[in-house]
Amino acid sequence: MFLKNKIQLTLATLLVIVSSCKAQTKETSNAKKINNQEHPSLILTKGGVEKIKAQLGTVPLFDETLAKVKAEVDAEILNGIEVPIPKDYSGGYTHERHKKNFLILQKAGVLYQILDDEKYAKYVKDMLLEYAKIYPTLPIHPQTRSYARGKLFWQSLNDSNWLVYVSQAYDCVYNYLTEKEHNLLEKDLFRPFAKYISVDNPKFFNRVHNHATWGNAAVGMIALVMDDDKLLETALHGLKKDNIDPNEKDDDGAFIKKKGQKVGFLANLEEPFSPDGYFTEGPYYQRYAMYPFLVFSEALQNVKPELKILEYKDAVLLKSINTLLNLTDADGNFFPLNDGQKGMSYYSRELVSAVDIGYYFGGKQTDLLSIAKDQGEVLLDDTGLSVAMGIRDGLETPFVKKSINLSDGKNGDEGGVAILRAEGSKEELTLVLKYTAQGSSHGHYDKLSFSYYEGGNEVIQDYGMARFVNIQQKGGGNYLKENTTWAKQTIAHNTINQNETSDFNGNFEIGNLNHSDKYLFDVSNPNIQVISATEVNAYPGTELHRTMALIKAANFENPYLLDIYKINSKTENQYDLPYYYLGQLMSTNFKYTKPDELKPLGTKSGYQHLWVEGEGKSDSGLAKISWFNKERFYSLTSVVSNKDDLIFTRIGAHDPDFNLRNDPGFMIRKKNSKDSYFVSLLESHGHYDPVNEIATNAFSNIKNLNIVFNNDDYIAISIKTENGNTSMFLFSFNDNSKTSKHQIKIEDKTYDWIGVYQLTEINK
């Protein structure tokens, strides 16, 4: 996608290149050290700096970013250097101070290069010397929660963050420092630092995991600055020895490292990314990992271009930038799949890096410039300069997010995520259907779950994670226990829960072996976009098949969402399908009672966290609820039987520390059922203007919704609107060919169609 001439690079090829490169290095290293060892060379380059200097004052976005960074660093220099003895968790003073230090050090290094002002180099030098003073005698961090405690921070992960940034600072001031200072810093700080996060923490370093990616990049970056190919080799391919017990598991029940598993930076690049550039942990962690992936790759590209790291695995890294930008709502916020904190967006510094690097190295796609323009800042390096110049020259084109299917898994054959997008009368309607693999340790048990957006508003929410990142009051800013007991559980998601037990019985090891499968992704007709996927392992003996269609139809103000959930089971079960709507309930078409006292819905698997706010049943065959949120109306119309329980829930039971958000939900429960269908239609409609106090189109347009035909192979659903129009949605469950012919008879009328689905207007 990014490179015109894609080069297939296998791991084997790379190893050969790296080896030959090492051989060369041995021969020429002395000569190179004397003649060619340039600094800076990792992110800023000598040539790049010259170019930047030549352009200063002529590239507004670059100049603005530079001024902002200068003001920030100048204020810190005035504030003075603080290198406290580590003691706090994230959110606490020492944590936040060391975090700020590495961010400022990197920026100060850049300012020294661009502005030629020695005060910045001196600041970096002085602070590094402070670190070099304390590091040799620093004990392991006193806070004990992590499986791999750091020294500056409570986890080696944060220490690695530090080194990824500080390596860049060291590179920038390298030539300012004396030989003696180099020796001191490397002996007392950088080498033991790199050793600590690798050799001393093999379970952290020798894994395929976002933690290890940071560790690998950190060691690799400092190796590049120090021109240490042996250390670089460790970064790329991991430690040769680690003594990790192949049976050892982490807190999530995942093996730390399977026997014979490849580790190191290249393996981390190989395994978690699908060929579509989807990172298996989900967008929040993809964003987090993007920085070390890209910044180390940029450094490798600059220092070791012969590695062609950016072409690795069909240029997956560059591809993944585009993927990540697609995993956002209209406001640029990432969909909070798996563990993800809401509010994280493409305005994060990691995405500024990603967009700039992607533009510069990925063929200068002009649509990235419009994202960069929104971000309002650029990297202060060659890539950022190139972006800022592109914007200055008016080259940007809109970044259009289309409906897209993203495969999961190293080879793209472990399910995926589908995003369907359709323009609405006010904003875009966006469906996210998740049918991925487990998503590693940050994965949720949410097979075939969905979330739904109108512009940047959540209509049906994914809860995200139960964590307040870096807010110390809340469990030190770390994962809260409710993340396990609630946020990861199946019932916390908008999908089927069987028998009040989560997918795979909540067993990570089993979950990690399985994935859902795509049945159909078809967006060829912009008026009827369909995603359909199956899950046959989450509940042994039960097959789940969910089909969601985003349909633009006449008589509807906005596209509507049709949700068809087919369940086949060998046994009788209870099926619960919740919809976590946001907003205030306006009306229902059925009677319900609200209890005088609230009790939890269940005792485990997340059910213990749900208050039952109301219960009802519908005799009409339909359950319709309407709600109101952010000045808009929504209606969910569901086909139900008079035996189905209709339950209103609110999150927050058994939450002793007020860690959960008290959000509402609506649940349809079918008891003692084997094969079942859940069919619902979700509308966004109307508007309320609180200044003029006028409500428009405040009612659902659906008069009736019926399953008029169903057998193992087909379903037919009739949709009748208030003005009497009827349409029929036909779907084939067992033949996903787009060319097969189908025929069914409903009440003496024959319906023929080609392909998996059809939407037909019924003339009456």
Q: Is 442 an active-site residue?
A: yes
Which stretch, 197-205, 256-264, 534-542, 688-696, contacts its own copies (CB under 8 A)? 688-696
Of 22, 661, 687, 703, the one binding its own copies (CB under 8 A) is: 661
Round to the nearest angstrom and report the end-to-end CA distance of the chain: 49
Burial grade of 494 (CB within 10 A; 0-12, 13-18, 19 or more) = buried
Contact, 415 vs 409, CB < 8 A? yes
Site for its own copies contains 472 (CB under 8 A)? yes
SS3 481: helix
Of 180, 656, 724, 747, the one binding its own copies (CB under 8 A) is: 656
Of 54, 694, 754, 762, the one binding its own copies (CB under 8 A) is: 694
Q: What residues does 720 pair with on adjacent strands? A: 704, 726
Closest CA to 384 of 11, 740, 51, 698: 51
Which stretch, 19-27, 38-46, 691-699, 732-740, contacts its own copies (CB under 8 A)? 691-699
Number of amino acids touching its own copies (CB under 8 A)? 55
Site for its own copies contains 35 (CB under 8 A)? no
Nearest distance from residue 599's CB to its own copies, in Å? Answer: 5
Which residue number, 27 or 693, has a Cβ lying nearer to its own copies? 693
Site for its own copies contains 596 (CB under 8 A)? yes
Candidate list 123, 165, 170, 285, residue with the active-site label: 285
Binding mask 425-464 for its own copies (x = CB under 8 A): ----------------------------------------
Contact, 276 vs 319, CB < 8 A? yes
Q: Is the dihedral of CA 702, 523, 325, 376 positive or negative?
A: negative
SS3 74: helix
Which residue number, 491 or 625, has a Cβ lying nearer to its own copies? 625
Token reading at 388? 């800022």
Nearest distance from residue 679's CB to its own copies, in Å? Answer: 24
Site for its own copies in 313-342 (CB under 8 A): 341-342
Nearest distance from residue 321's CB to its own copies, in Å? Answer: 17
Site for its own copies in 113-172 (CB under 8 A): none
Token reading at 277? 């550039």
Which stretch, 110-118, 544-552, 644-652, 753-761, contacts its own copies (CB under 8 A)? 644-652
Contact, 327 vs 334, CB < 8 A? yes
Q: What is the full DSSP assignment across 394-412?
A: T-----PPPPEEEE-STTS
Of 626, 637, 684, 732, the one binding its own copies (CB under 8 A) is: 626
Q: Is 39 an active-site residue?
A: no
Of 176, 255, 590, 628, the one binding its own copies (CB under 8 A) is: 628
Nearest distance from residue 490's CB to its own copies, in Å? Answer: 23
Nearest distance from residue 473's CB to its own copies, in Å? Answer: 4
Which stretch, 44-52, 435-443, 470-478, 751-759, contacts its own copies (CB under 8 A)? 470-478
Closest CA to 203 of 220, 190, 215: 215
User: Element (H or E) spanning 614, and its range?
Assistant: strand 610-617
Of 6, 594, 604, 671, the one binding its own copies (CB under 8 A) is: 594
Nearest distance from residue 547's CB to its own copies, in Å? Answer: 30
Pairing of strands 702-710, 714-721: antiparallel
Site for its own copies contains 477 (CB under 8 A)? yes
Place of tokens 């510094």: 349
Round the CA-based radius of gyration of the chain to a whole number and report it: 28
Token reading at 86? 């580590």
Of 40, 86, 91, 264, the one binding its own copies (CB under 8 A) is: 91
Site for its own copies contains 695 (CB under 8 A)? yes
Other CB atoms closer than 10 Å to residue 212's CB: what's the count?
Answer: 31
User: Element (H or E) spanning 510, and its range?
Assistant: helix 508-511
Nearest distance from residue 261's CB to its own copies, in Å? Answer: 31
Q: What residues does 718 pair with on adjacent strands? A: 706, 728
Of 175, 470, 629, 718, the one binding its own copies (CB under 8 A) is: 470
Nearest distance from residue 459's CB to its own copies, in Å? Answer: 18
Which stretch, 44-52, 193-201, 383-391, 695-703, contacts its own copies (CB under 8 A)? 695-703
Which residue number, 309 or 623, has a Cβ lying nearer to its own copies? 623
Site for its own copies contains 517 (CB under 8 A)? no
Which stretch, 187-195, 248-256, 310-318, 649-657, contacts its own copies (CB under 8 A)? 649-657
SS3 413: coil
Site for its own copies in 697-756 (CB under 8 A): 698-699
Contact, 397 vs 370, CB < 8 A? yes
Site for its own copies contains 68 (CB under 8 A)? no
Contact, 553 vs 579, CB < 8 A? no
For residue 192, whether the previous peptide bond is cis, meaning omega lies within 30 degrees of 0, is no
State the Cα–Cα distance between residues 629 and 612, nearest whole angstrom.
21
State the Cα–Cα distance between residues 577 and 641, nearest whole angstrom.
14
Site for its own copies contains 611 (CB under 8 A)? yes
Site for its own copies contains 349 (CB under 8 A)? yes
Nearest distance from residue 257's CB to its own copies, in Å? Answer: 29
Q: What is the 3-state secondary structure (H, E, C) of 360-396?
A: HHCCCCCHHHHHHHHHCCCCCCHHHHHHHHHHHCCCC
Site for its own copies contains 345 (CB under 8 A)? yes
What lies within 8 Å, CB to CB, of 731 at 6+ separation is: 532, 547, 564, 714, 715, 716, 717, 756, 757
Which stretch, 263-271, 272-280, 686-694, 722-730, contacts its own copies (CB under 8 A)? 686-694
User: Element (H or E) spanning 64, and its range?
Assistant: helix 60-79
Other CB atoms closer than 10 Å to residue 12's CB: what's the count?
Answer: 8
Nearest distance from residue 285's CB to its own copies, in Å? Answer: 13
Site for its own copies contains 468 (CB under 8 A)? yes
Nearest distance from residue 694's CB to its own copies, in Å? Answer: 6
Which stretch, 131-139, 211-219, 492-500, 654-662, contacts its own copies (CB under 8 A)? 654-662
State the Cα–Cα distance between residues 54 and 320, nearest whole angstrom.
32
Contact, 648 vs 561, CB < 8 A? no
State the Cα–Cα distance between residues 184 and 191, nearest whole angstrom.
10
Candidate list 141, 442, 444, 609, residue with the active-site label: 442
Which residue number, 472 or 758, has a Cβ lying nearer to its own copies? 472
Binding mask 567-586 for its own copies (x = CB under 8 A): -----------------xxx
Pairing of strands 584-588, 622-629: antiparallel
Instruction: Let me know the angle formed at the C-alpha of 109 by 106 and 112, rounded to the nearest 5 degrees.
Output: 155
Of 425, 587, 589, 760, the one binding its own copies (CB under 8 A) is: 587
Backbone dihedral angles phi then psi of residue 306, each to the nearest 5 degrees: -65, -15
Contacts to its own copies by CB under 8 A = 91, 96, 99, 341-345, 347-349, 468-474, 477, 584-587, 593-594, 596-600, 611, 613-614, 626, 628, 648, 650, 652-656, 658, 661-662, 664, 688, 690-695, 698-699
The catalytic residues are 285, 442
